[in-house]
A and B are shown apart, each in its own frame.
Chain A
């Protein structure tokens, strides 16, 4: 019977699948998701496995789909998620899928290549257009003088030499390159060239990188052929693009018009190409998710098939798998369905095997318990069939958190947040929000909900809402005659002390539920609350640890380790109870028998209340205190004798924990060895072959003894240290209360103590500031801190009493991750 109390019973089974039906059967098993296959070919290289080709083809398809996905996302199209769960396609459909993907990929690549070429052409034409426009400007200035020409020399020609010809080239380059280019030109040509540049105002799109760059147009004027070659080489070297530019204005105008025409044509073609690409991608986007799921399922099935062994007759595949025994029926049904789908007549066979290997640990969880199970599994997976701490963690975790976080106001904030997450969980899961922090919060929404509910309760007990207390039932403290609260006294004392001895100051009946509201404004609030919180921390801690030891008893009974009950459980329990259980008893006794007022006699009044801690220390040191004044030395009669007996009993438990177990273990081992030898002798005399028994167990007595010593020391010292460790419940709740109070006094009070007329506006602003600090510091930071400490208390103090945590997790072949679109792949 499966439950969250302990992990499920697992059976190691052999599956015999016929070769035709194997694929479909594995597919159906994957849909059920409750079978963990063992790798029967661990030494085989990945490239030598039987279905390596199919896996490779699936990988190819996956790659093509990822390429498609990238292109779809680049175009900002949405991939539709219909939520349907397509079954894994038959092996023969793989070819069709491959053909479809190949066609789509090729088409897309072609379209992309064309678009790139078109964009490059369009870029060149645009640059040419700018060049023409800019040169127009350059030459316009010159053309205003009608008779001058660029080829006319500025200097008067010397006799004998022909007219000087000035040549020019037009280039376009990136704006960032300009200074470097100019400088190089100047240096190489020794200053004999003249450059005029003009920046292009609008940015142009670079076709390869698809980003926008700014460019500059410039003209270089030079004289002579050598300079021309030099200039051309430099332009090529600096990777500028050269454009031919006609000299006369008429030619330039014609060229400009030609460019405009070609640019317009190119633009239309480009638009059509992008439209076509968009349509192809949109059609693919509708099916993309289904295809992904199909391909991933196929891959998972082939990976699993690779783990199976081929039978000698080559007709069937053998699998070894772990199945929860309660699910045998559903697995058989899945196998039948798979065989029917494959149309095979050979029924698959499940054969349960007996084995000594430790099965995997499988906890069946639902959405509520999964969070708590995760917390426990993070520390260590439970040993097979060990009691699962997660069951108790569902209550003790929020409770211990709440003891540290007790503030009803902060709890309300957390409650609203977690309740929103829980009530809207279906929409939030469908929204598939990304972000690791959000996923952590959302995954723990039930934990948060419980934590906030419990924290609200402890907030009401501590009577603390944003560091203010609520007076619902009427405080038990009043100012009566015995307070002597005259004006003269108040001015002299500054503080008023209310002595609970007098019934007109303290009514004698405590506040019905939680702390009296007067403590929030009392000066000695911390001293009073400290005593209470420390004591309940110890009491809660001791009870938690005793509970842990009780759970170990259940484990011992289940695993039939009866000697452990005598050698471990009993001495541990008696040790803990006789020392720390007695401490708790003393606390309770003191609470009941001592008090303030006339109902208690003089030895049981507040000035005679003993210190429980001193009693405890004296108990261990066997010290007797001297009587002081009218107070008793002891709380009750024969206290010294009883304490002595408890101490002796506790000390006697230590050798019982330490010594018997190694001897018993050795005796059991020797018995087992003798039985094994006898059975082997019998088999040999009967003529059977050597049995396939496990190897000889070794038994090192010294090792076992040392291990037992370590466990004993760990437990004994752990008792003391863990009990003190539970005091963090007090420490964190004190810190939380004080932080909350400081935040109110330092921030909110400023807004409230405004005497001016704009006090309301100040209050308005300061409230939001206080609210942000409350959420960030007190809810988030303190919440995280209390969460961490609670987790530590569970992992170390509670679980060290019984938890072994040496199992390994159940990792079934399941398609659930694939359907949810998880990033991780089922290996």
Chain B
């Protein structure tokens, strides 16, 4: 049943916990249109008028926010899987 070793499942567990927290926070900030994340948006190189730029910025913020939330959900799944693997590995090491 264990397809990950002890150390790998522990690493995965920690990274998924971290990813969950950080991506949730990032998602919230993207949703709140924080200017610190302005450079992380998928934008064109050149805009001709102001309105298309503003629309793209708003769209970019919302898209990235949802991307972050979905990635956070994926990390919840990974957290579950790696937690289960870690628990199984813990039990086998005790049975020495």
Chain A positions within 8 Å of B38 at CB level: 521
CA distance A663 to B42 in the complex (A): 77
Chain B positions within 8 Å of A191 at CB level: none
Chain B positions within 8 Å of A468 at CB level: 36-37
Tell me how far the C-beta of A515 lies from the nearest C-beta in chain B, rounded to whole angstroms. 13
Instruction: Tell me whether B35 and A763 are in contact (CB under 8 A).
Output: no
CA distance A754 to B49 in the complex (A): 23
Mask, B55-79, CB within 8 Å of A = 1, is 0000000011011101100110000
Chain A positions within 8 Å of B39 at CB level: 521, 745, 749
Residue in B23, B42, B96 whose CB lies within 8 Å of A755? B42
Interface with A: B2-10, B14-22, B83-91, which one?
B14-22
A133 lies within 8 A of chain B by Cβ: no
- The chain B residue sitting closest to A487, CB to CB, is B50
Chain B positions within 8 Å of A487 at CB level: 49-50
Interface residues of A in 510-551 (CB under 8 A from B): 517, 520-521
CA distance A546 to B75 in the complex (A): 52
Chain A positions within 8 Å of B74 at CB level: 760-761, 764
CA distance A760 to B65 in the complex (A): 10
B41 lies within 8 A of chain A by Cβ: yes
A759 lies within 8 A of chain B by Cβ: yes
Mask, A746-784, CB within 8 Å of B = 1, is 001100111100011101100110011000000000000
Tell me how far the C-beta of B50 lies from the nearest C-beta in chain A, rounded to whole angstroms. 6
Residue in B36, B50, B66 whose CB lies within 8 Å of A521? B36
CA distance A520 to B36 in the complex (A): 8
Mask, B38-53, CB within 8 Å of A = 1, is 1111100000011000
Residue in A78, A521, A760, A768 whose CB lies within 8 Å of B67? A760
Instruction: Tell me whether A763 and B96 are in contact (CB under 8 A).
Output: no
Chain A positions within 8 Å of B19 at CB level: 764, 767-768, 771
A424 lies within 8 A of chain B by Cβ: no
What total of chain B residues lie within 8 Å of the partner, measured CB to CB?
26
Tell me how far the C-beta of B74 lies from the nearest C-beta in chain A, rounded to whole angstroms. 5
Instruction: Tell me whether B15 and A768 are in contact (CB under 8 A).
Output: yes
Chain A positions within 8 Å of B67 at CB level: 752, 754, 759-760, 763
Instruction: Tell me whether A763 and B36 are in contact (CB under 8 A).
Output: no
A361 lies within 8 A of chain B by Cβ: no
CA distance A616 to B37 in the complex (A): 42
A76 lies within 8 A of chain B by Cβ: yes
Tell me how far the C-beta of B71 lies from the nearest C-beta in chain A, rounded to whole angstroms. 4
Tell me how far the C-beta of A466 lies from the nearest C-beta in chain B, rounded to whole angstroms. 8
Instruction: Tell me whether A763 and B71 are in contact (CB under 8 A).
Output: yes
CA distance A469 to B36 in the complex (A): 7
Interface of A is mostly: helix
Residue in B22, B35, B36, B71 whose CB lies within 8 Å of A760? B71
Chain A positions within 8 Å of B75 at CB level: 764, 767
Tell me how far the C-beta of B3 lies from the nearest C-beta in chain A, rounded to whole angstroms. 18
Chain B positions within 8 Å of A764 at CB level: 19, 71, 74-75
Chain B positions within 8 Å of A738 at CB level: none
- The chain B residue sitting closest to A767, CB to CB, is B19
Instruction: Tell me whether B64 and A752 are in contact (CB under 8 A).
Output: yes
CA distance A771 to B17 in the complex (A): 11
Interface residues of A in 68-92 (CB under 8 A from B): 76, 78
A471 lies within 8 A of chain B by Cβ: yes
CA distance A753 to B43 in the complex (A): 8
- The chain B residue sitting closest to A763, CB to CB, is B71
Interface of B is mostly: helix
Chain B positions within 8 Å of A470 at CB level: 36
Chain A positions within 8 Å of B71 at CB level: 760-761, 763-764, 767
Given known pairs A76-B96, A752-B64, A764-B71, the reply for A771 and B36 (CB within 8 Å) is no
Interface residues of A in 460-492 (CB under 8 A from B): 468-471, 487
CA distance A13 to B47 in the complex (A): 88
Chain B positions within 8 Å of A752 at CB level: 37, 40-42, 64, 67
Chain A positions within 8 Å of B63 at CB level: 755, 759
Chain B positions within 8 Å of A760 at CB level: 66-68, 70-71, 74
CA distance A754 to B43 in the complex (A): 10
Instruction: Tell me whether A771 and B34 are in contact (CB under 8 A).
Output: no
- The chain A residue sitting closest to B77, CB to CB, is A764
Instruction: Tell me whether B34 and A471 are in contact (CB under 8 A).
Output: yes
Chain B positions within 8 Å of A768 at CB level: 15, 19
CA distance A78 to B40 in the complex (A): 55
CA distance A745 to B37 in the complex (A): 11
- The chain B residue sitting closest to A753, CB to CB, is B42
Chain A positions within 8 Å of B37 at CB level: 468, 752
Chain A positions within 8 Å of B42 at CB level: 752-755
CA distance A394 to B1 in the complex (A): 48
Residue of A78, A469, A749, A768 contacting most chain B CB atoms (<10 Å): A768
Tell me how far the C-beta of A624 lies from the nearest C-beta in chain B, rounded to whole angstroms. 47
CA distance A182 to B22 in the complex (A): 69
- The chain B residue sitting closest to A413, CB to CB, is B18
Given known pairs A749-B40, A753-B41, A754-B42, the reply for A767 and B23 (CB within 8 Å) is yes
Tell me how far the C-beta of A443 lies from the nearest C-beta in chain B, rounded to whole angstroms. 22
Residue in A471, A748, A761, A767 whose CB lies within 8 Å of B36? A471
Chain A positions within 8 Å of B50 at CB level: 487
Chain A positions within 8 Å of B34 at CB level: 471
Chain B positions within 8 Å of A517 at CB level: 36
- The chain B residue sitting closest to A475, CB to CB, is B35
Chain A positions within 8 Å of B36 at CB level: 468-471, 517, 520-521
Interface residues of A in 556-590 (CB under 8 A from B): none
Chain A positions within 8 Å of B18 at CB level: 771
Interface residues of A in 608-656 (CB under 8 A from B): none
Chain B positions within 8 Å of A469 at CB level: 36
Chain B positions within 8 Å of A521 at CB level: 35-36, 38-39
Tell me how far the C-beta of A432 lies from the nearest C-beta in chain B, rounded to whole angstroms. 15
Residue in A471, A745, A767, A772 whose CB lies within 8 Å of B22? A767
CA distance A749 to B64 in the complex (A): 11
Tell me how far the C-beta of B63 lies from the nearest C-beta in chain A, rounded to whole angstroms. 7
Tell me how far the C-beta of B77 lies from the nearest C-beta in chain A, rounded to whole angstroms. 10
Mask, B18-35, CB within 8 Å of A = 1, is 110011000000000011
Tell me how far the C-beta of B94 lies from the nearest C-beta in chain A, rounded to whole angstroms. 12
CA distance A749 to B75 in the complex (A): 19
Residue of B41, B71, B96 contacting most chain A CB atoms (<10 Å): B71
Tell me how far the C-beta of A167 lies from the nearest C-beta in chain B, rounded to whole angstroms. 55
Residue of A468, A469, A754, A761 contacting most chain B CB atoms (<10 Å): A468
- The chain A residue sitting closest to B39, CB to CB, is A521
- The chain B residue sitting closest to A771, CB to CB, is B15
CA distance A771 to B21 in the complex (A): 12
Given known pairs A468-B37, A471-B36, A521-B36, the reply for A763 and B15 (CB within 8 Å) is no
Chain A positions within 8 Å of B41 at CB level: 752-753
**Supplied contacts A487-B49, A752-B64, A754-B42, 11 more A-B pairs, CB within 8 Å:** A517-B36, A748-B40, A752-B42, A753-B41, A754-B67, A759-B67, A760-B70, A761-B74, A763-B23, A767-B23, A771-B18
| Interchain residue pairs with CB less than 8 A apart (14) | A78-B96, A468-B36, A471-B36, A520-B36, A752-B40, A752-B42, A753-B42, A755-B42, A755-B63, A763-B68, A764-B19, A767-B75, A771-B15, A772-B15
Task: Tell me the A residues contacting B by CB distance below 8 Å.
Answer: 76, 78, 468-471, 487, 517, 520-521, 745, 748-749, 752-755, 759-761, 763-764, 767-768, 771-772
The 4 closest A-B pairs by CB, nearest first: A760-B70, A764-B71, A752-B40, A753-B42
